[in-house]
Structure 1
């Protein structure tokens, strides 16, 4: 408790001076990866793209993003997280803006693939950067503020994109071209701002006192001492680390369970609850607001008791319950309730799993490890919408796909239960080892 009181002023300063840059970057990144859903309203008609062409191009982002996560993060370790964040944002902002010049399916495929390549490594770099500032007792809250970026981005994108599409014809540009131009350039601008104002490490800032820096270093070192070191810290080491593999498959099953419904929610709710578009919009927006609040609450609560996986397990069970209710849906009210259960809890589950990585991996393996984990997650993101569509075409409704999503969610829960038990045993053994070493040192002759 005393350590927390000493660190509290430093944590507040970091929350104010660091997190806004990171959160804004993630908001822009999320906008630039999914704004294509709004652009497609006009773009597909103007360019003659079929649903198949659009679907493949949209999915290629996740494929390249996942494939290049590890190489990008390995390069980040060489050049440093701040420089790599700037590089990532400059390239993705430029490519997101250049989407306005797409004319053919091949160009569309290439640009979406390259956007994924450019953005790859962004989230692992954020995690690596924050792990050098925030001790484990505060990390969940810090990451939760970053993790609310997707729902915040959705709110902003929904409010602005329709207006941008209305600019159709202005300056001889289509509305979808204005959308890519206006929403892509902020990435370039923010990269310049981050280069100028985001500090590299606590050691170089003047707004932390010497005592705060020392206490912060002690807290970070103490956290590191509780992590069981793996024998290797390269890609092979990450892929042979059971914690990396377990977190990777937890995210893969989680995204298999969630992303298909996230990208098909209006159609699913139309079928299951016979809702009109306006009502669906209110429901989705309301779930986003509640989900944002739960993300912040989950980050705070997991820091308070230190057992992030327990909270993730509970919320994942709620998500599975929602999926089953939505799949069964004998009444519109049950379908809407099931969707709310799922939509409010799914992002907090992701937050808690992501927040667990810095707690369970050593600093030397964190960047490559998180990148490997995220690669598994993106494979789930790539497959989920495609499999949801196959199930819909084969059966005529979304029920089969929702039951399959619930099964994937149960697999995620089972893996989290196993990982939690494994970590508890390993950490208890590590604490005993540190205590024994300390006792032996005290008894050594002076």
Structure 2
């Protein structure tokens, strides 16, 4: 191999080993603390007298403050550095998540969900922003896909664990759902100092890279950020008013709506068949486990094919089909099969979506732009649980809610096709040195 090829392969190997496993674990903890309320609802709703509407409203309130503080949090991250700010976010959300164990009624439930949203704001877009400064474009599909596989993995692992924790009812006078919140909050606080020690804000700060590797990484990421835009945005106002950014936000709204609809209500959909808590946990894990494998495989395929557009909207369409099938299935086995299809589809599309914003944003506005897309898109986390809860109370089933999620997902498909076609981003160019080394096929 040539010297440049050796440098490229060595740099990517070091970055992947150092960053991906830690960020993957952190995101598992983050997502679990965000959605474990869906599993707690199996007993918490009865203990506290919550209707589906009260639960849906409270679960969704998380996203109001999450959205409100998203852009300011990412701007603070840019000022103080990702390493320090991500560690701060983890400590804060861990402590607030533990406090959920002490809610006593609707008002305290609403308050703690608002606090949790503010505490966690900025984590996900902060990590994406960090990765944009470390991962060359031809690697982003697999790296971001591996990182975001933490979402289905969190649900796959969290479902059976949460089912077991709910059975701790009565120990030390606490309900099982209280133990769930207390125990699942601990890892976030413990991981914060690890983040401070392991992460580096930018290649220049990395003592574990050689000078040649630092130069190669910097050159690669600089050429990839904003490469799809003919001109840079001159201000944050331009980001907030750019129709392409708003289209991306609408697309993310539709995709995350599927994610949160499944995460918050899938345990209740499965439990409706009269299963035990443990059995509900095990079966609820199946769609997410399959989705975790699929999203990594699909991300690698997208990198290998050097194509993004079709790899995003085709699995999104698959998710729509799965949601519609779930709504019209009456047997547990068929409903679970369609839930698997929906989960595989949406989680395969989610990480590849983030290959689009860097092609729209300039380097100067990437932090605010990514945060804005994520913030506006995550409003679906407020809208969808409320729709699901209202329709459940009104009609006694989840069919209407599932169909509403499918509608928003169809809108997302149209937005993705539109923005990708206008940008001409069907293909992603790989670095020639990496191509010669065969690294992009790994």
Fold conserved (TM > 0.5)? yes
Partner of 2:437: none
Q: SS of 1:355's equivalent?
A: coil
CA distance 1:192–1:130, change in 2 (3 Å): same
Shift of 1:363: 2.4
The 5 Å alignment of 1:95-244 reads 95-224=96-225, 226-228=227-229, 229-234=231-236, 236-244=237-245
For 1:394-413, list aligned pairs within 5 A.
394-395=394-395, 397-413=397-413
CA contact (8 A) 2:97 2:185 kept: yes
**Unaligned ranges ≥5, structure 1:** 429-446
Query: Quick check: 90-99 or 260-269, which moved more?
Result: 260-269
* Structure 1 position 52, deviation (Å): 4.2
**Contact 1:65/1:119 (8 A) holds in 2:** yes
Q: Answer whether contact 1:95 1:111 (CA < 8 A) is retained.
A: yes
Gaps of 5+ in 2: 429-442
Q: Secondary structure at the match of 2:379?
A: helix
Distance 2:162 2:337 in 1: 29
Report 1:3-402 matches (<5 A): 6-224=7-225, 226-228=227-229, 229-234=231-236, 236-257=237-258, 259-265=260-266, 268=269, 284-329=284-329, 335-395=335-395, 397-402=397-402
TM-aligned CA distance change 1:170 to 1:289, over 3 Å: closer
Judge conservation of contact 1:57–1:109 (CA < 8 Å) in 2.
yes
Kept after mapping to 1: 8 A contact 2:291/2:340:
no
1:97-149 CA distance string (max 9 Å, x none): 22233334332221111110010111110011111111111112111111011
CA change 1:101–1:391 in 2 (3 A) is closer
1:404-429 Cα shifts (integer Å, max 9, x gaps)? 3333222221111111111118999x
Once the two structures are superposed, what CA deviation does each residue of 1:172-218 show, in whole Å capped at 9, x if it has no partner? 44433332222112211111221123222222223222221121122
Query: Which sits farther off after the overlay, 212-221 or 171-180?
Result: 171-180
State the 1:29 CA deviation: 0.8
Considering only CA atoms, is the larger Rg found in Structure 1 or Structure 2?
1
CA contact (8 A) 1:127 1:358 kept: no
Structure 2 CA distance for aligned equivalents of residues 303 and 181 of structure 1: 40
Answer 1 or 2: higher relative contact order, Cα 8 Å, separation at least 6: 2
Is the 8 Å Cα contact of residues 261 and 268 (structure 1) preserved in structure 2?
A: no
Q: Shift of the alpha carbon at 1:350?
A: 1.4
TM-score normalised according to structure 2 size? 0.86
Determine the structure 1 residue equivalent to 2:432: none
- Distance (whole Å) between structure 1 residues aligned to residue 224 and residue 307 of structure 2: 14
**Contact 2:86/2:123 (<8 A) preserved:** yes
Contact in 2 for aligned 1:92/1:119 (Cα 8 Å): yes
Contact map agreement 1:230 1:237 (CA 8 A) in 2: no
Aligned length: 425
CA-CA distance at 1:297 after TM superposition: 1.3
By how many angstroms is 1:23 displaced?
1.3
Contact 1:227 1:362 in 2 (8 A): no
Query: How far apart, in 2, do the equivalents of 1:392 and 1:101 lie?
Result: 26
Contact 2:233 2:362 (C-alpha < 8 Å) held by counterparts? no
Offset at residue 391 of structure 1 (A): 3.5
> Contact conserved, 1:135 with 1:220, CA < 8 A, in 2?
yes
How many angstroms apart in 2 are the aligned matches of 1:394 and 1:44? Answer: 17
Contact (CA 8 Å) 1:136, 1:359: kept in 2 or not?
no
Equivalent residue, structure 2, for 1:422: 422
Cα deviation for residue 353 of structure 1 reads 1.0
Contact 1:266 1:280 in 2 (8 A): yes
Provide Cα deviations, 1:368-417, integer angstroms capped at 9, x if missing partner. 11111112222112111222333444455444444433332222211111
Change over 3 Å in CA distance of 1:118–1:218 after alignment to 2: same
Q: What is the SS of the residue equivalent to 1:231? A: coil
- Alignment partner, residue 431 of structure 2: none
Contact 1:74 1:368 in 2 (8 A): yes
2:109 and 2:406 mapped to 1: Cα distance? 33
SS in 2 for 1:18: helix
**Judging changes above 3 Å, is the alpha-carbon distance between structure 1 residues 182 and 196 closer, same or farther for their aligned structure 2 residues?**
same
Does the 8 Å contact 2:322/2:338 carry over to 1?
yes
Change (3 A) 1:167 1:281: closer
| TM-score, normalisation: structure 1 | 0.85
Measure the CA separation in 1 of the matches of 2:410 and 2:37.
31
| DSSP-derived class of the 2:355 partner | helix
